[in-house]
Structure 1
C-alpha cells in the first residue's frame, strides 16, 4: 500500500478513499466492487445537515500519510485513520455551523499551488504549506475544495468564475461550467468538486449521472481530452458528498 503523495492526485488505481458516511449504498457498493476500501467520516454535529458528513470540510490531506483534521471530529477519526498508517494532526480551528466559520480546512490544492480565502485558513495548514513550499493564493471563495474538481496537477473544473480566473493566472488550465444540476439536500445546489474525485490517474468518479448539469458534455469532453474516463457510481442524479478523497493506492 502506498499513500497518495500529492493530494487528490493518485498515480495508480486507489485502494482507500475517505467519503461522507451518507454516500449511499449503491455508490459505496460500486467503489467496493472496484476493490476500494471506503473509510467513512463521522457526523460533525456543529454543522447543518447538508454538510455534516463532508470530508473536505473537516479533513485536509497535506500529502502522503499526513492529514490535518478539525478538532470537532479528531478524537473519532483518529483511531480509524491511525490504524491505517495515517499521521493525524489536530487543526487549531474549531468549526461552527455557518460560513465563514466552517471553511478553515476546505482548501483547494492543485499540485504545488493552493487556493483559499486566506483570512480563514487553519494555521496548522498554513504551517504545513510553508514547510512543504506550497504556494497559497488568496481568493474570496472559502469553499475552494468542494467547488473544484481536480483533474490533474495543472487542471481543474469549477463553476466559480473568480476562482477560475485567478487559477488561470497561475498557469492552471480550467474548465468553467455553469452552476446547478447537483443535489445538496436543503440547499439550491451542490458543487462539482464535492461530487466526485479521481480513482486513478485516468478515472474520475462522480456520485451519479450528470444529466441535469447544463455543461455535462463539456465535462465529458474536457476529461476525455485529458485522457480521463468517467465512472458513474450510482443511478441517481449527481449529488454533493464533500468529495471522494483518494488516500492510498
Structure 2
C-alpha cells in the first residue's frame, strides 16, 4: 500500500484531554496536540477515546459525524470522510472505526467497520483481516508496519496465520478509570514516520515490559514512556 498522505511528516497527535500530563510530554517532543471530543452516548470511561472517533488511512481520515471539530481540523491536511451516520454508541456499533493498519492490511471486526472504510479498503487493495474483538485498535499495540503486541487470544490466533509478527502479553496492568482494566493499545501510540512507540505511563511497570522492549528493539522501534505513572488507557494516541 503506497503512502498517499499529504503531510510529509507526522507532527501532530490526537489524544484525550482528561490526562493532560501525556499531552504536555508530547509537546516537549515537538508535537502539536489535537484533543479528541466528548461523545455523551459512550460509556463514561471511553467518551473521549480518540481510537473510537477517527481512523487515518494514508491521505484519508474517517471521522465520526458527531466529531465536527476533529472533522474541521483534519480537513486541513486530509481528505476527510464522515462516518457513523445513525450512530448509537452501543457495542459493537461504537467500534466502527476501531481498526489497526499493518502495511497493506487492516485488522478489525469486519461486520462492525463503517461501510465507507470497507469500500475504501476494497478500492485501494487493502486486505481486511477479521477478528472478533470490536475494540481492535485499543487491543493492539502497533510497533511496526508488520508487528503488533496484544493480550487478545483471538487476535493472536488470527495473526499467527498471517505474516504479521505478534507478541502475546498478559491481560491487565493498565488503568482505565471506571473499568476493571484497560488495554495496552489504548495506553500507547505509534509514530510510524519516526519509528517511535509512546506509552501513556511507564512501560517498566508492566509485567511483560522486558519482552515488550525486546520485541520493539527487534523491529527497530524506539520506546518512550511519557510519564513515571502507571500505564493508563486514554483511548490511544493517533499521530497525523
Q: CA deviation at 1:72?
A: 2.2
Moved more, 131-140 or 220-229: 220-229
1:211 to partner: Cα distance? 4.2
Bigger shift: residues 87-96 or 121-130: 87-96
Q: What CA distance in whole angstroms lies between the structure 2 residues aligned with 1:94 and 1:106?
A: 17
Which shows bigger deviation, 102-111 or 174-183? 102-111
1:112 aligns with 2:112: no
**Does the 8 A contact of 1:148 with 1:158 survive in 2?**
yes
1:46 is matched with 41
How far is the alpha carbon of 1:223 from its aligned partner?
0.9
Ranked by relative contact order (alpha carbons within 8 Å, sequence separation 6 or more), the top structure is: 1
Matches within 5 A, 1:1-249: 5=3, 14-22=10-18, 24-64=19-59, 66-73=60-67, 75-82=68-75, 84-199=76-191, 200-247=193-240
Measured after TM superposition, the shift of residue 242 of structure 1 is 1.3
Displacement of 1:26? 2.1
Structure 2 gaps, min length 5: none
Cα deviation code 1:161-192 (max 9, x no counterpart): 11112112111100000011101111111111
Give the Cα separation in 1 of the matches to 2:194 and 2:157.
25
Q: Residue 112 of structure 2 aligns to a residue in which SS?
A: coil
Q: Count residues with an aligned counterpart.
A: 237
Give the TM-score, by structure 1 length: 0.88
Q: Is the 8 A contact 2:96 2:114 kept in 1?
A: yes
1:93 is displaced (CA, Å) by: 4.3
Q: What TM-score do you get using the length of structure 2 for normalisation?
A: 0.91
Residues 1:204 and 1:6: Cα distance change in structure 2 (over 3 Å) = farther
Give the secondary-structure state (helix, strand or coil) at the position aligned to 1:50: helix
Q: Distance in 1 between matches of 2:25 and 2:17?
A: 15
Q: Distance in 2 between matches of 1:147 and 1:164?
A: 11
Give every structure 1 segment of 4 or more consecutive aligned residues whose post-TM-superposition deviation is greater than 4 Å.
Answer: none
Q: 1:79 & 1:212 partners in 2: Cα distance? A: 38
Once the two structures are superposed, residues 33-77 of structure 1 have per-residue CA deviations (whole angstroms, 9 ceiling, x without a partner) of: 11111111110111111111111101111212x11111222x232
Instruction: Describe the SS at the equivalent of 1:145.
Output: helix
Counterpart CA distance in 2 for 1:216 and 1:171 is 24
